[in-house]
Amino acid sequence: MSLDVVNDIIARKRDGGELDEARLRAFVIGVVDGSIPAYQASALLMAIVLRGFSPSETLGLARAMVDSGKTLDLSVLGRPVLDKHSSGGVGDKVTLVLAPLVASCGALFGKMSGRGLGHTGGTLDKLESIPGFRVRLSQGDFVRQLERIGVAVVSQSERLVPADRILYALRDVTATVDSEGLIAASIMAKKIASGTSAVVLDLTVGAGAFMQTVAQAASLGALCRLIGDSYARKVTCVYTSMAAPLGRSVGNRLEVEEAWEVLCGGGPADVREVVLALAAALLPLADLGLDGSEARARAERALDGGQAAEWFERWVAVQGGRFRPGEFHRLACDEITAGRDGWLSSVDARAVGHAAQVAGAGRRRVDDEVDPAAGVVVSRKPGEAVVAGETLARVHARSRDLRAAAALLLRDAFVIADEPPAVCPMVLGRD
């Protein structure tokens, strides 16, 4: 593509104009084939963030991104394949529970997932904390595994939506992540290309999430549904709270252990509630003939009766993992304690996420290594009574310096009040 054409596209958006699908498609093609240099692509991304992106532009970009690479055809399975995407948060181990739960209820769950960046954890990092677990499968093996056991979670294929991989890397280093249109196009292009029939979006809201209000989340959800509708894909949005960390564990293997507790019918009540809400939204999109209340009841029985846990063990074994609950090297920990008696009013989810990242559980750059055993375990949740000197959290890290640095971030993360606080519900709505 000539530089004059690229400059025209950049200038049009800079001046507040709308980009038609032909211009967006030309831009995406140039990004993928390398004819548009990174500095020009970054200039357009910044213009989009500053000038805004209309629904029609969002749809046009998503279409161009889908067509930038291969698409996976799962129609050979003859059944709907369900998927779930989360907008991110702290302690979000929901996929580890939801994937085998959905399969144990009789539906197919197939997901191509990414790695964590920043204070939010990635599902692949959690799965890879299980020794031997293989996140890379060929497309053929992915389909065969879905046929065999009804569940597969794998790394994103580099052949699917290559434009997203390039553009996301640029957005990450140019402060252009915060755009609803760019986010919606990125999410949905990957879901469309991966071939799934229906998706539930877990759009998190609160201090530990990207979006601070339900209104913001609903606006993003509307764009995602617009894209899904254009491809005849069913999209349901569930809005969940990320005002505090989800569950008690933040860190890769620590979260696997907590997910196992939920799969066995126990675990933190907030994780269970989010999982059941998503299952109730997802299972009716399958071919099981269930409505929302029937779907939730079936999911509850699968958790409490042990079927979901059995499916998790089967899934892990088929993908090469060796999982035995509690059998991993626990790192030394430092404790954060309560300074006085009272009621835990709030826990700064973002601070907890950053502390886990500093401890070694997260990454600042995509190519950073993570420590599978590092992280933070929160001992008390908002609404619970505490006494002076009681442990509020434990930081697990491989060195004393890392533990100290992470603990410093947690010093002001726990707010203690004289009266019990009003506790926010976990599920804030759906559409």
What are the strands of the beta sheet with 375-378, ordered from one edge? Answer: 249-250, 375-378, 391-396, 333-337
Give the separation between CA 9 and CA 7, rounded to whole angstroms: 5
Concerning whether 171 is annotated as a catalytic residue, the answer is yes
Buried b (16+ CB within 10 A) or exposed e, 266-277: ebbebbbbbbbb
CA dihedral 11, 17, 18, 21 (to 10 degrees): -30
From the list 115, 171, 233, 272, the catalytic residue is 171
Concerning whether 354 is annotated as a catalytic residue, the answer is no
Concerning whether 186 is annotated as a catalytic residue, the answer is yes
DSSP β-ladder status, 375-378 and 249-250: antiparallel
Question: CB-based contacts of 97: which residues, under 8 Å, 6+ apart?
Answer: 259, 262, 263, 271, 275, 308, 312
**Best CA proximity match to 315, nearest among 113, 106, 134, 80:** 134
Give 143-160 as a DSSP string. HHHHHHHSEEEEEPPTTB
From the list 13, 85, 354, 394, the catalytic residue is 85
Give 185-236 as a DSSP string. HHHHHHHHHTT-SEEEEEEEESTTSSB-SHHHHHHHHHHHHHHHHHTT-EEE
Concerning whether 111 is annotated as a catalytic residue, the answer is no
From the list 111, 119, 190, 253, the catalytic residue is 190
Concerning whether 70 is annotated as a catalytic residue, the answer is no
Buried b (16+ CB within 10 A) or exposed e, 330-356: ebebbebebeeebbbbbbbbbbbbbbb
CA dihedral 9, 10, 14, 17 (to 10 degrees): 10
From the list 68, 157, 186, 379, the catalytic residue is 186
From the list 92, 164, 270, 371, the catalytic residue is 164
**Residues forming the active site:** 85, 164, 171, 186, 190
